[in-house]
Structure 1
Amino acid sequence: MSAAETQNWFGHDVAPGESLSTELVVSESYSSRNVSIPVNIRRGLQPGPTVFVTAALHGDELNGTGAIRTMLSDKEWSLQSGTVLMIPVLNMLGFERHSRYLPDRRDLNRCFPGSASGSMASRLAKVIFESLIARCDFGIDLHTAAVRRTNFPNVRADLSHPDCRRMAEAFGSGIILHTKGPKGSLRREATRAGCPTIIVEGGEVWKVESSVVECMTRGIFNVLMELKMMSGEPDIPDTQATIRETKWIRAERGGFLAMHVSPGDSIVKGQAIATNSNLLAEDQNRLEAPFSGIIIGMTTLPAVQPGEPVVHIGRLSNPKSVRRHEKQVAGDEIQRTAHEHLATNIQVVEATVEEPRENAD
């Protein structure tokens, strides 16, 4: 889409160099009143691509909302070319209920591209897809971990798609996961429709965490610089870990967890991850890393039952890769700050050395 001429967004003309805050009507409430989502349209003076940046597609995931609000209140940056759409809350019905889901209990991020004659969620998805996504050339969708979990900031993208890979690497999170995304998810369907889209995961629900917001805002500006929509060069770590395989390590027994790792930690195969015991700290059971990798995400709830997820590990090829990632995080102030900040939300204790049992007489 050219940015050299006046564009019409939701009934408003936006000329090159202008910025407009408006709303898009997406549905109706039980009282028959309109349900709208806020949108800021910012345009450069020169022609260029149109990029959407969305948050709170799951209504309780607010770190992305904080990141977009930070960008909206920051007067120091300007757009040279193209158009940026910033939507701080995409799932308004979920947001107002502090819920991941819509009132009909459906996950909006499994309903794209939507249907005009389907469920409420499907109809809502269709309006969003046709009014916003279909008019864009690239997309960035901001998320957090699900409830009772936290994620170290990471980018997820279909790396087989050249433009998705380009954006993922330019974002500069330090960790890139190769996934196409679930069927019906915004980023998967947007990419299929010709709008290459990446998602960013970081932090917890119901919070705006400063270190995660900083990772997200830097990454968004990096992508805009990569697309030549802003002046400057992207601030990207010297190396980034590309993850093609992940695994959730689950509790073997019920009990209370003593964690030995925190989000973003590098680990080696066989390393102690958590010790599970009863409330009197007896009858211990230890979970160990099945391979070398990175702690992408983990539970924030110390009490578990058998089968519940404890840590999400991204596989690295070998211990050398583990050391390289440790060095990369230590050398990048934003990642280092996020690592230190997220670790304070979890009590991490040193794993005790198990003493060998003596044979009974």
Structure 2
Amino acid sequence: MVSGSSHSSSQSWFGKSVAPGESVNSELLITESYSSRDVGISLRVIRGLGDGPTVFVSGALHGDEINGTGAIRSLIADDDLKLTAGTVVLIPVLNVLGFERHSRYLPDRRDLNRCFPGNASGSMATRMAKVIFDAIVRRCDYGVDLHTAAVRRTNYPNVRADFRNPDCMRLAEAFGAGVILDGKGPKGSLRREATLADCPTIVVEGGEVWKVEPSIVDCMKRGVLNVLKHLEMMEGEPELPIGQVKIKQTKWIRAERGGFMDLHVSPGSTVTAGQPIATNSTLVHQDQNQLIAPFDGIVIGMSTLPAVQPGEPVVHLGRLAGAKSARRVEKHSQADDVQRTAQEHLSTNIQIVDPN
């Protein structure tokens, strides 16, 4: 375990003094508005009494992805979140300018999650990224970045981590999601650049934009608490599912024709090769074609908009080892209350039609 700075005295977080055992609200100034007013990121710093790692937990790096915001606010309001060691920095909204516009992007249309570690003399996005990276990430030993699917899509809760980095894998497994996907993240993304800067970071995906979905919040909140327990920053043992599946290959199944999709699977469903996953038809219900699962897998994400044009993504599948693995994954997810509830709730947002 990497240890943070000594906890024998107060720490300064953006002008606020935080003593061992204290919890303090603070604000990191990141830029100025068009009217020359300061723009800041609100956050909560919680310290344990003993020495330990420093962990950041961030939400809304994409400003419209607010399930993580809901989860972090729930953690802040939870009186049972008591650290015995270390420091946790809880950031409900990282991209405050995008959040205030209900937008994934910054006002200049740049993606903040492609701008790290930043540039002090670059664009507004890279300047903001540098302030965030230097002030938060470089002070932390680990990171958990909470996301949702992009607009008009939804994701079954999953963790994304670099399988070749043992510290990232420890965090990913400790988080306790049923599905772990391999990947370093795109160049300039927070998790990739933070990990390269010796702050191993994982991404958690779940649910839709513009919503705080209770079942996704429960998944994210349990996972963050699991990580803190694993790092011995809290008392208690992580609440882990019976099994977790690690996936190295995924594929978007795309529409072949324009029309209206009848979906036959929901987020978290397992499928076998050759199974129908969606049927495309005209508006007067003349069938045109079916989309078939190309391999045994699990539905990681899918479109929530049934109207499609050729080439548009419909279902995101993660490849499993075979039909036996698919049955085992389904059994494990149904045995875990948090995963099962998430799957049930996400399926209510999509009309599922029997392919027959």
Alpha-carbon distance between aligned partners in 2 of 1:220 and 1:71, rounded to the nearest angstrom: 9
Structure 2 match to 1:200:
204
Q: CA deviation at 1:13?
A: 1.4
1:288 has 2:297 as partner = no
Aligned counterpart for 2:176 among listed residues 172, 179, 201: 172
Structure 2 match to 1:256:
260
- Structure 1: state its 5+ residue gaps: 353-361
Alpha-carbon distance between aligned partners in 1 of 2:122 and 2:252, rounded to the nearest angstrom: 34
The aligned amino acid for 1:164 is C
Alpha-carbon distance between aligned partners in 2 of 1:53 and 1:268, rounded to the nearest angstrom: 36
1:327 has 2:331 as partner = yes
Q: CA deviation at 1:6?
A: 1.4
SS in 2 for 1:284: strand
Aligned counterpart for 1:143 among listed residues 134, 144, 147: 147
Structure 2 match to 1:121:
125
1:41 has 2:45 as partner = yes
Aligned counterpart for 1:345 among listed residues 345, 349, 354: 349
Q: CA deviation at 1:22?
A: 1.2
SS in 1 for 2:318: strand
Q: CA deviation at 1:300?
A: 0.2
Counterparts of 1:7-156 in structure 2, within 5 Å, are 7-156=11-160
What do residues 146-170 of structure 1 show as CA deviations (whole Å, max 9, x unaligned)? 0000000000000111110000000
The aligned amino acid for 1:168 is A
Which has the greater radius of gyration? 1
Structure 2 match to 1:359:
none
Number of residues of Structure 1 aligned to a counterpart in Structure 2: 352
Counterparts of 1:180-191 in structure 2, within 5 Å, are 180-191=184-195
SS in 1 for 2:287: coil
What do residues 29-48 of structure 1 show as CA deviations (whole Å, max 9, x unaligned)? 00110010101000000000
Q: CA deviation at 1:74?
A: 0.9
The aligned amino acid for 2:177 is S
What do residues 9-44 of structure 1 show as CA deviations (whole Å, max 9, x unaligned)? 111211100010011100000011001010100000
Does the 8 Å CA contact 2:19/2:47 hold for their aligned counterparts? yes
Alpha-carbon distance between aligned partners in 2 of 1:98 and 1:18, rounded to the nearest angstrom: 33
Alpha-carbon distance between aligned partners in 2 of 1:46 and 1:133, rounded to the nearest angstrom: 21
Counterparts of 1:287-306 in structure 2, within 5 Å, are 287-306=291-310
Alpha-carbon distance between aligned partners in 2 of 1:340 and 1:239, rounded to the nearest angstrom: 19
Q: CA deviation at 1:5?
A: 2.4
SS in 2 for 1:54: strand
Alpha-carbon distance between aligned partners in 1 of 2:100 and 2:61, rounded to the nearest angstrom: 12
TM-score, length-scaled by structure 1? 0.97
Alpha-carbon distance between aligned partners in 2 of 1:125 and 1:155, rounded to the nearest angstrom: 23
SS in 2 for 1:279: coil
Aligned counterpart for 1:268 among listed residues 251, 272, 278: 272
- Structure 2: state its 5+ residue gaps: none
Q: CA deviation at 1:284?
A: 2.3
Does the 8 Å CA contact 2:279/2:287 hold for their aligned counterparts? no
Alpha-carbon distance between aligned partners in 2 of 1:116 and 1:24, rounded to the nearest angstrom: 16
Structure 2 match to 1:356:
none
TM-score, length-scaled by structure 2? 0.98
Is the deviation greater in 75-84 or in 189-198?
Answer: 75-84
Alpha-carbon distance between aligned partners in 1 of 2:347 and 2:187, rounded to the nearest angstrom: 33
Structure 2 match to 1:311:
315
The aligned amino acid for 2:15 is G
Alpha-carbon distance between aligned partners in 2 of 1:76 and 1:325, rounded to the nearest angstrom: 32
Alpha-carbon distance between aligned partners in 2 of 1:190 and 1:153, rounded to the nearest angstrom: 22
Aligned counterpart for 1:219 among listed residues 215, 219, 223: 223
Structure 2 match to 1:357:
none
The aligned amino acid for 1:42 is I
